[in-house]
Amino acid sequence: MKHHKDPRIISIDHYGLPLYETSPEQMALLAGDAFALSDRVPEAVGEAFDFIRWYYAWRSLQGIGEKTPEPTHLKVEGNDSFEALIPWEQLAGSAIQFAIDGKPLHKGGPIRLYVPNGSSACLNVKSVAACRFLHDEASRGDVSYGFKNAFSPQDLRQNTTK
């Protein structure tokens, strides 16, 4: 997925819906109550909101009915080419950091996802530029994270001819 030119915009891609763009502030407003991130992630600083609460508020705003199945995975993509594929079941208790001392994130922004109860001790994905909600029963439970290899055919040709 191509990321928005404005680095403060987060792209939301949900199966069955057109691409949606939002800001950290809009997400926080929709989620409702913000809390100290340290409530869920000891030693972390800043303000956060509950990811699942935001998702269900956003889902309702989009007119997604109760009969539409929940995603099986969330795939987050960072501006730094880091990607994480997280099983939906592991997202309970996850939080989105959107500010520190009431100011937008400069380092690690526009938002940062913390998953304290996932496969990793506390997966945290900084510089989140895109959230993709996937529904794929065949891969339910699959998890992956790391930097994606983004090489053009030109890059590969140059590396093999040296």
- Rounded to whole angstroms, how far apart are CA atoms 118 and 72? 14
So what's the pLDDT on residue 162? 47
Retrieve residue 85's tokens.
């594929």
Provide the residue-wise pLDDT of the chain in tens; the chain has 162 residues.
555 578 789 999 999 999 999 999 999 999 999 999 999 998 899 999 999 999 999 999 999 988 899 999 999 999 988 999 999 999 999 999 999 999 999 899 999 999 987 666 668 999 999 999 999 988 887 888 888 765 555 555 555 544
Q: Which of 58, 70, 38, 65 is nearest to 135 (CA)?
A: 70
Predicted TM-score of the model (pTM): 0.85
Q: 27: closest CA among 104, 122, 134?
A: 104
Count CA within 13 A, CB hemisphere, residue 145.
20
